[in-house]
Amino acid sequence: MAGWFDVPPLPVEAFGLRFPNPVGLAAGMDKGAVAVPAWEAMGFGFSELGGVTRHPQSGNPEPRMFRAPGEEALLNRMGFNNPGADALCTRLQRWHAVGRWPSHPVGINLGKSKMTPLSEAASDYAYSFGQLWGQADFFVVNVSSPNTPNLRQLQDKAALDDILSALQEMNRARQREAGPGASLRPILVKVAPDLSFDALDDVVSLVEPRGLAGLVATNTTIARPETTDAVARIVYRETGGLSGRPLRERSTEVIRHLHRQTGGRIPIIGVGGIANVDDAWDKVQAGATLLQVYSGLVYEGPSLPADLVAGLLGRLAGASWSDAIGAGNR
């Protein structure tokens, strides 16, 4: 499909995939894969669909999404409203069948069904992963949404280890079934900005043993920064996860920490409060190989990916992307 905007090429390679540019759509915008071709047309270099859960869910009652325009923030408690892994699989197959599959990498964000107890989380994630394995290029384990009760406890080292080991077992099984030449799907973990550095280090300690392809930093925050904005003060009283500008600095701090702790050996997808090229460049300099936007797209509009890519090319001024990653940490 022809793009809606002129997006200059800025190719990036990460976890065995080629991205036409490093600016992607963050999880949660297209939970049901209803607009798959639109993201590429908008100029995104990749898209992350979902979060999807094993069982279909209607999510929390409305209202469950709030805007604080003065802070360029969103607050949501959607609660993984999604059609479920089986239905998502059918939709993705249909996009393929009608020839509308994007040429950029597509990831799927995996969540846990609300009805599944924490003790059975690993099989819940593994079911969705197994169903969708053939439909996407990479997968993100979301253990960081604040909107499913107790989900974030799964960032605990032992619980996360259980989930990742179940997923890698499924990964190998699906690879065998797919036959010679099939490759394992890259698996990434998405972390909350509210984790302490020690807790982030626990996640980092699983990267090598569990063969993680990368980390996504960060999800929305349960913190509520000071604000003088009258509307934001009211919105911030709502339960849920805050995104957009108030999240920007903490997200960048988490990226910087993860980049240092991993020695830059695995790619980090930087997400949280990116609304312009300065925000995007800060995250690259802190250690992000790829970037994603959600709230920024809501406030800035659909030309944001094209503007970010053009701006990033300008910042590079001929230098290589890999030299820019984490340059602020050296």
Ligand X SMILES: Cc1cc2nc3c(=O)[nH]c(=O)nc-3n(C[C@H](O)[C@H](O)[C@H](O)COP(=O)(O)O)c2cc1C
Chain residues that interact with ligand X, rule: CB under 6 A? 26-28, 31, 50-51, 65, 74, 76, 78, 80, 109, 142, 145, 190, 219-220, 243-244, 247, 271-274, 293-296
Token readout for 15 is: 């976890």
Token readout for 58 is: 């209607």
Token readout for 137 is: 């290029």
Residue type, 322: S
Nearest CA to 191 among 254, 279, 256, 101? 254
Cβ atoms of 64 and 78 within 8 Å: the answer is yes
Residue 299 phi, psi (nearest 5):
-85, -35
Rg (CA), the chain: 18
Peptide bond into 252 cis (omega under 30): no
Considering the complex, what minimum distance in angstroms separates the CB of residue 319 from ligand X?
Answer: 25
Considering the complex, what minimum distance in angstroms separates the CB of residue 300 from ligand X?
Answer: 10
Considering the complex, what minimum distance in angstroms separates the CB of residue 140 from ligand X?
Answer: 7
Cβ atoms of 46 and 25 within 8 Å: the answer is yes
Nearer to ligand X, 150 or 183 (CB): 150
| Three-state DSSP class for residue 192 | coil
124's enclosing H/E stretch is helix 121-132
Nearer to ligand X, 138 or 294 (CB): 294
Considering the complex, what minimum distance in angstroms separates the CB of residue 98 from ligand X?
Answer: 25
Considering the complex, what minimum distance in angstroms separates the CB of residue 323 from ligand X?
Answer: 25
Nearer to ligand X, 57 or 168 (CB): 57
Q: Which of 145, 243, 251, 295 is catalytic?
A: 145
Nearest residue to ligand X, by Cβ distance, number only: 28
Cβ atoms of 46 and 19 within 8 Å: the answer is yes
| Three-state DSSP class for residue 168 | helix
Nearer to ligand X, 27 or 88 (CB): 27
Peptide bond into 51 cis (omega under 30): yes
What are the Cα distances from residue 300, in Å, to 21, 72, 128, 320? Answer: 19, 9, 33, 27
Considering the complex, what minimum distance in angstroms separates the CB of residue 299 from ligand X?
Answer: 10
Nearer to ligand X, 122 or 180 (CB): 122
Annotated catalytic residue 295? no
Query: Exposed/middle/buried for 21, CB within 10 Å: 0-12, 13-18, 19+?
Result: buried
Nearer to ligand X, 243 or 262 (CB): 243
Catalytic residues: 145
